[in-house]
Amino acid sequence: MRQKIVAGNWKMNNDKAETKALIKGIKKAIKKLSLKNTRVIISPSYVNLSAAIKKADNSKIEVAAQNMHQAKNGAYTGEISADMLKSINIETVIIGHSERREYFNETDAILAEKMDAVLSNGLEAIFCFGEKLEERKSENHFAVVESQLKNALFHLEAANFKNIVLAYEPVWAIGTGETASPEQAQEMHAFVRETISKKFGKEVADNVSILYGGSVKPANAEEIFSKPDVDGGLIGGASLKAEDFAAIIKAI
Ligand code: PEP
């Protein structure tokens, strides 16, 4: 059975005290939930990962990093390696978020290298992809998504997918308040599963969790999550408030 996942991407928000307070709030809000077959992940900033792990200890909350450099170590000022993440017990990393692609020039080729680094280090990747508004308007969204998947993932082995979560995030829906309709999300998720199935086989495709991301909030989460190929969400803005994040977790 595929895992359900609700992951919060905090981006460049929350200092140390705010990080701890938000985790405390989420813990309290989800304490009574059974969360069967459901993972809850939060992704604070690098500098607060250790504090977050400590605070989340003994709870249902996992802590992930928002990015990772592909090199083992070296002269890459400002960057963070897999070894560094592993040394503080981080097991999951978001790779290829559209903001990394757009503001930090992360190309498909770089993302392919990052995926290799994540997987060869025994870490798990939440791999993000999705089309821009003009690409959807020109009806190129399926081709764009297919090429993002091919370029960054198709050199991998089927076995790698045990450590990969996919996150479809149409760029036009991120932080804009505009959400893909549940039908649009389902249509793309089914396409992604089919694309993975053709390359890596049905078993891999059936078992990989595909999250939707893009202005998910308590009011729309349940409908989006009710779609058969939507296995959860990657949540930005609404993951910064404990009650909203908890309501989205409840919706799954
Ligand atoms: C995101 O950044 O991954 C995201 C989905 O953001 P938001 O929920 O704010 O649209």
User: Which sequence spans correspond to the domains of the chain?
Assistant: 4-251
213 is in an annotated binding site: no
Give the separation between CA 42 and CA 53, rounded to whole angstroms.
Answer: 10
Clarify whether 97 is annotated catalytic: yes
Q: CA Rg, the chain, in Å?
A: 17
pLDDT of 187 > 90? The answer is yes
Q: Please tell me if the CB atom of residue 234 comes closer than 6 angstroms to any atom of ligand 1.
A: yes
Output the residue whose Cα is nearest ligand 1's atom 4: 236
**What is the number of alpha carbons within 13 Å of residue 237 lying toward its C-beta?**
12
Helix (H) or strand (E) holding 242: helix 242-251
Confidence of residue 32 (pLDDT cuts 50, 70, 90): confident
Question: How many angstroms separate the alpha carbon of residue 160 from the centre of ligand 1?
Answer: 26
Pairing of strands 38-43, 4-9: parallel
Q: 4-251 domain in CATH 3.20.20.70? A: yes
pLDDT of 145 > 90? The answer is yes
Mean of per-residue pLDDT scores for the chain: 97
Helix (H) or strand (E) holding 8: strand 4-9
Confidence of residue 45 (pLDDT cuts 50, 70, 90): very high
236 is in an annotated binding site: yes
pLDDT of 58 > 80? The answer is no
Contact call for residues 215 and 176 (beta carbons, < 8 A): yes
Intra-chain end-to-end CA distance of the chain, in Å: 15
Give the separation between CA 45 and CA 140, rounded to whole angstroms.
Answer: 33
pLDDT tens for 11-31 read 999 999 999 999 999 999 999
Q: Specify the higher pLDDT residue, 98 or 60.
A: 98
Coil, helix or strand for 220?
Answer: helix
Closest CA to 91 of 47, 130, 61: 61
pLDDT tens for 149-185 read 999 999 999 999 999 999 999 999 998 888 899 999 9
Report the pLDDT averaged over residues 187-204.
98
Per-residue pLDDT at 178: 84
Q: Please tell me if the CB atom of residue 7 comes closer than 6 angstroms to any atom of ligand 1.
A: no
Report the pLDDT averaged over residues 106-110.
98
Per-residue pLDDT at 176: 87
Clarify whether 141 is annotated catalytic: no
Q: What's the CA angle centered on 12, arms 246 and 86, to 5 degrees?
A: 85
Report the pLDDT averaged over residues 203-211.
98
Question: How many angstroms separate the alpha carbon of residue 131 from the centre of ligand 1?
Answer: 14
Question: How many angstroms separate the alpha carbon of residue 75 from the centre of ligand 1?
Answer: 31
Coil, helix or strand for 70?
Answer: coil
Q: What is the ipTM of this complex?
A: 0.96
Confidence of residue 217 (pLDDT cuts 50, 70, 90): very high
Question: How many angstroms separate the alpha carbon of residue 46 from the centre of ligand 1?
Answer: 18
Query: Among the atoms of ligand 1, which is closest to the Cα of residue 174?
Result: 10
Per-residue pLDDT at 59: 85
Contact call for residues 70 and 152 (beta carbons, < 8 A): no
Backbone φ and ψ of 7, nearest 5°:
-120, 135
Q: Please tell me if the CB atom of residue 237 comes closer than 6 angstroms to any atom of ligand 1.
A: yes
